Amino acid sequence: MNKDVASHLTPLIDRFALHSPISSEDRAELGKMPYKLRSYEAGSYLLRDGDAPVQCGVLVSGFAYRHRVSAAGLRQIVSVSIPGEVYDLQQLHLATADHNVQTLTRCTVATIAHAALLEIAAKRPSVARAISATTIVDLSIAREWMLNIGRRDARMRTSHLFCELAFRLNRGSVPSGHTFDLPMTQEQLGDALGLTPVHINRTVRGLVKDGLIVNSHRSITIPNWGALVDEAGFNSRYLHMVPI
Amino acid sequence: MNKDVASHLTPLIDRFALHSPISSEDRAELGKMPYKLRSYEAGSYLLRDGDAPVQCGVLVSGFAYRHRVSAAGLRQIVSVSIPGEVYDLQQLHLATADHNVQTLTRCTVATIAHAALLEIAAKRPSVARAISATTIVDLSIAREWMLNIGRRDARMRTSHLFCELAFRLNRGSVPSGHTFDLPMTQEQLGDALGLTPVHINRTVRGLVKDGLIVNSHRSITIPNWGALVDEAGFNSRYLHMVPI
DNA sequence: CGGAATGTTGAACCGTTTCAAACGGAGTGG
DNA sequence: CCACTCCGTTTGAAACGGTTCAACATTCCG
């Protein structure tokens, strides 16, 4: 199952390299990690609240989301993972998961045992560092989400999320007229933004009416990137991503 | 300035040990890190958005908070640091800070150069691991804050924050009748909870009226821990803290 | 002591929620 | 190929939680 190692783990290594220097030996070592390739239907759980997490996963293809459910049964989506991202470093050193990770679409996932990753991290400080850096960027995104949910109105919140996803999906540069997949229902958007699905509907329609986005079949087109950025008050700095 | 090394860095080492095994040699090594002890007035900046972070800090005494300001000038407090906590691991591998850290009270801070910490982390995998684990717990707290801000009403939000602070300040067990310092203005509470100061006022008064808390002089007494926990829907699991 | 910052309260307003109903598209079975 | 169902989207109207604005009381601090 490890024949084409480099191609499946490349996103993980690239993500690491994005925020922290990774030497070619590190690359080689990381590329040799044993992993398993699996496919999941849309809606499958990749991690369940209460589980003991024992593996990391790279989303080779597909979207996933991370969510917590309160004692009262209220759900908050706390992050969205896009193709090529690692979705499970957030639980690397914890005995019990405190949230769920669920697929939004059919996904192909390369899973790596925590033990394997920790072993390399123990041998190679730069890998340990890269894991930390990746987690720190997740934390920065979480801070921006708190600001978004806590302090912006529905319209800004929604356009801010669209900006973030477009920017991440396009790795740091979004041309006007760009289209991207957004495989989330309006209920899921509501759970991500702290709003009701009904209000998400009205808000998205408002953005469409004002020509800020075009919305069809779970994909979003941004006719004018600058206009949406202004609407959202979006500043990509928190993503700590160097534009390509 | 390093005479009484163990006493000032102990909180850092203890925090590490809380989530990840730290051997006695690691302890000794960490205890030998060079650091500087400084005092800050209430309201001082420990880190400014845009700065290049070069040092970590341990809050030997005093409270601090972390906040982001949006393009429109809206402020969101994204975490509160209590005495004994490390306040700066969240920027360890980033070139530029994306938020501010400011003191709530007069603070004594032990600062450690990032270089010194990274050097030990490079030599000692368990230290690298402890840094990661600490950051991962911060991330878990951030997730709960997103849930709190996004999905709970003002009354639950406010009592949830009180529960969290009481629980962290008391290291995992809060007896009924417990009193703790909460050196935050109502405006700051509002910025932490995504509410206006006026509404914080009404909410806190409501909690007082219903006997869930007693509030005087920036300190909070919890007459009945179980009652406040129920009101807030608080479950301490996300803090990943073993009760003492 | 005086001035600034913080806390308190009321009343009007508004963004979002709630409830309810209808619509549309995709998939399924007869 | 139609009828049926399921799920997500859309829309309207009323209700509500939280905001805004404004005024005043209190505490803090130089």
Round to a whole number and report the distance in Å from the CA of A110 to the C1' of D15: 49
pLDDT given for residue B4 in this prediction: 46
Report helix angle A197-209 to A154-169, nearest 10: 80
Mean pLDDT in chain A? 91
Give yes or no for A68 touching B (CB within 8 A).
yes
Round to a whole number and report the distance in Å from the CA of A103 to the C1' of C30: 34
Of A98, A131, A150, the CB nearest to B132: A131
Are residues A93 and B233, on separate chains, in Cβ contact within 8 Å?
no
Cβ atoms A140, A239 nearer than 8 A = yes
3-state secondary structure chain A: CCCCHHHHHHHHHHHHHHHCCCCHHHHHHHHCCCCEEEEECCCCEEECCCCCCCEEEEEEECCEEEEEECCCCCEEEEEEECCCCECCHHHCCCCCCCCEEEECCCEEEEEEEHHHHHHHHHHCHHHHHHHHHHHHHHHHHHHHHHHHHHHCCHHHHHHHHHHHHHHHHCCCCCCCCEEEECCCCHHHHHHHHCCCHHHHHHHHHHHHHCCCCEEECCEEEECCHHHHHHHHCCCHHHHCCCCC
pLDDT (tens digit per residue) in B197-210: 999 999 999 999 99
B47 bridge partner residues: B101
Tell me if residue B147 falls in helix, strand or coil.
Answer: helix
DSSP B33: -
DSSP B223: S
Q: Residue length, chain A?
A: 244
Distance CA A236, CA A143 (A): 13
Q: Whose C1' is closest to the CA of A43: which nucleotide?
A: D7
Cβ atoms B200, B190 nearer than 8 A = yes
pLDDT at A54 over 70: yes
Element at B6 (helix H, strand E): helix B5-19
Q: How far apart are the first and last CA of chain B?
A: 32
Percent of chain B with pLDDT over 90: 69
CA distances from B59 to A82, A142, B17, B27, B86 (A): 37, 23, 17, 18, 6
Distance CA A200, CA A173 (A): 26
Identity of the amino acid at B191: D
| CA nearest to B101, candidates B110, B92, B90 | B90
pLDDT given for residue B89 in this prediction: 82
Place of tokens 């911060």: B138
Give yes or no for A237 touching B (CB within 8 A).
yes
Are residues A76 and B129, on separate chains, in Cβ contact within 8 Å?
no
Q: Residue length, chain B?
A: 244
Are residues B125 and A129, on separate chains, in Cβ contact within 8 Å?
no
Of B75, B142, B150, the CB nearest to A143: B142
In A114-143, the residues whose Cβ lies within 8 Å of chain B are 118, 121-123, 125, 128-129, 131-133, 135-140, 142-143
Distance CA B3, CA B6 (A): 9
Q: What is the pLDDT along chain B (244 residues), one digit of tens a residue?
A: 444 445 788 888 888 888 888 889 989 888 889 999 999 999 999 999 999 989 999 999 999 999 999 999 999 999 999 999 998 887 888 889 999 999 999 999 999 999 998 889 888 888 888 888 899 999 999 999 999 999 999 999 999 999 999 999 998 889 999 999 999 999 999 999 999 999 999 999 999 999 999 998 899 999 999 999 999 999 999 999 875 5
Distance CA B16, CA B18 (A): 5
Question: CA angle at residue B149 from B99 to B43, to 5 degrees?
Answer: 40
pLDDT (tens digit per residue) in A7-41: 788 888 888 888 888 889 989 888 889 999 999 99
- Give the chain B residue whose CA is nearest to the CA of A21: B93
